[in-house]
């Protein structure tokens, strides 16, 4: 049975998997508009280094929330979610299809599931949890968490240190499971029919794409872009200063590393980020229609057949 709620297509995947190209083809075929779901592409100053859609793509179809926030600011998940819902509703109001494109899992989860309004956790509690985890290790910490929060203890893997620590600090401070707060948030989600599609190429192919793409970024002016960013003398703790490639190229510009070393480390960090994105899709977004290769025209048939099943009719 086809859902009659307003539809939102979500195209996600790790970096260098072809999301942006698929987004453009989908928008052209469905009379859609693209909405950014990438936490770095939202900042104004970084175009090349964040692999924002190129000029040709921007001319083909409307793109929203790209280069919207100045690098001197911080775009929180909540702020992005509010803006994204506004853009989605506006696109629906135009009679078009909103197509969310990006690989920032926390953005996508917040949009679809809501944001858990957990009370602020004191720094002392947070530090206590991380210290305990470091001292006793993941397995023993998971057992400690299970005493406080059996549900999260059963759900989390002993190697997922970040989520273990978060669950422990929430249960310790609030006396309630993180799942309690997340369930409250789910009652406040927008009433959309999300059509989920994920590109997850084979790991070795993806890593090769990551390496090549960073070299292409440099050829397209990525180093100059970072130099211009540094000239703004922004606070190093700002999100834009931590974008993939920025810290490594900053060290080269400041004479602290060779260009070869900076490129190698940026490529390595990009591969690590791509691995985390794939893990998120596999473990937290596994209800998406997943294709295990990089996007190419050959995949159009598979994608649009999937779209037709949702009740949308592409023009191709």
* Digit-coded pLDDT (tens) for 232-289: 999 999 999 999 999 999 999 999 999 999 999 999 999 999 999 999 999 999 999 9
Q: Is the pLDDT of residue 119 over 70?
A: yes
- In sequence order, the 6+-apart residues with CB closer than 8 A to the CB of 60 are 24, 27, 28
What does pTM read for this prediction?
Answer: 0.83
All domains of the chain, ordered by start, with CATH?
7-114+189-309 (3.40.50.300), 123-186 (1.10.20.140)
- 3-state class of 98 per DSSP? strand
User: Is residue 212 a known part of a binding site?
Assistant: no
Q: Is 14 annotated as a binding residue?
A: yes
Query: Is position 19 annotated in a ligand binding site?
Result: yes
At residue 2, the pLDDT reads 60
CA distance 48 to 198: 23
CB 308 within 8 A of CB 7: no
Cα 282-115-309 angle, rounded to 5 deg: 50
202 is in an annotated binding site: no
- 18 assigned binding-site residue: yes
Mean pLDDT of the chain: 94
The percentage of residues in the chain with a pLDDT greater than 90, rounded to a whole number, is: 86
Longest dimension (CA), the chain: 61
Determine whether the annotation assigns residue 15 to a binding site. yes
Rounded CA separation 224/218 (Å): 8
174 marked ligand binding residue: no
Q: Is the pLDDT of residue 146 over 80?
A: yes
Supply the pLDDT for residue 187.
62
pLDDT number for residue 281 = 96
What is the tens place of the pLDDT at every residue in 18-52?
999 999 999 999 999 999 999 999 999 999 999 99
Element (H, E) at 194: strand 193-199
Residue 160 confidence class, pLDDT cut points 50, 70, 90 = confident
Using DSSP's 3-state secondary structure scheme, residue 18 falls into coil
Question: Is 20 annotated as ligand-binding?
Answer: yes
């Amino acid at each position: 049975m086809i859902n009659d709620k307003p539809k939102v297509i979500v195209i996600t995947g790790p970096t260098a998997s072809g999301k942006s190209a698929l987004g453009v083809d989908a928008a052209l075929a469905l009379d859609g508009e693209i909405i950014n779901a990438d936490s770095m592409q939202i900042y104004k100053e970084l175009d090349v280094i964040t692999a924002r859609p190129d000029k040709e793509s921007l001319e083909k179809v409307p793109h929203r929330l790209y280069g919207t926030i100045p690098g001197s600011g911080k775009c929180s998940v909540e702020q992005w979610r509010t803006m994204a819902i506004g853009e989605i509703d506006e696109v629906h109001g135009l009679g078009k299809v909103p197509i969310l494109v990006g690989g920032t899992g926390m953005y996508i989860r917040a949009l679809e599931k809501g944001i858990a309004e957990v009370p602020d956790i004191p720094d002392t509690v947070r530090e206590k949890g991380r210290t305990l985890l470091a001292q006793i290790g993941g397995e023993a910490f998971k057992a400690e968490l299970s005493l406080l929060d059996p549900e999260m203890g059963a759900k989390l893997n002993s190697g997922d240190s970040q989520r273990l620590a978060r669950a422990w600090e929430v249960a310790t401070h609030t006396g309630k499971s993180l799942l309690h707060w997340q369930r409250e948030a789910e009652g406040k989600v927008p009433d959309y029919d999300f059509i989920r599609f994920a590109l997850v190429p084979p790991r070795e192919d993806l890593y090769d794409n990551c390496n090549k793409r960073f070299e292409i970024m440099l050829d397209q002016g990525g180093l100059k872009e970072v130099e211009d960013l540094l000239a703004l003398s922004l606070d190093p703790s700002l999100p834009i200063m931590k974008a993939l490639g920025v810290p490594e190229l900053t060290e080269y510009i400041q004479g602290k590393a060779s260009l070869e070393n900076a490129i190698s480390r940026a490529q390595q960090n990009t591969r690590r980020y791509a691995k985390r994105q794939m893990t998120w899709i596999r473990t937290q977004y596994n209800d998406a229609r997943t294709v295990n290769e990089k996007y190419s025209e050959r995949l159009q048939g598979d994608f649009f057949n999937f779209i037709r099943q949702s009740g949308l009719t592409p023009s191709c």
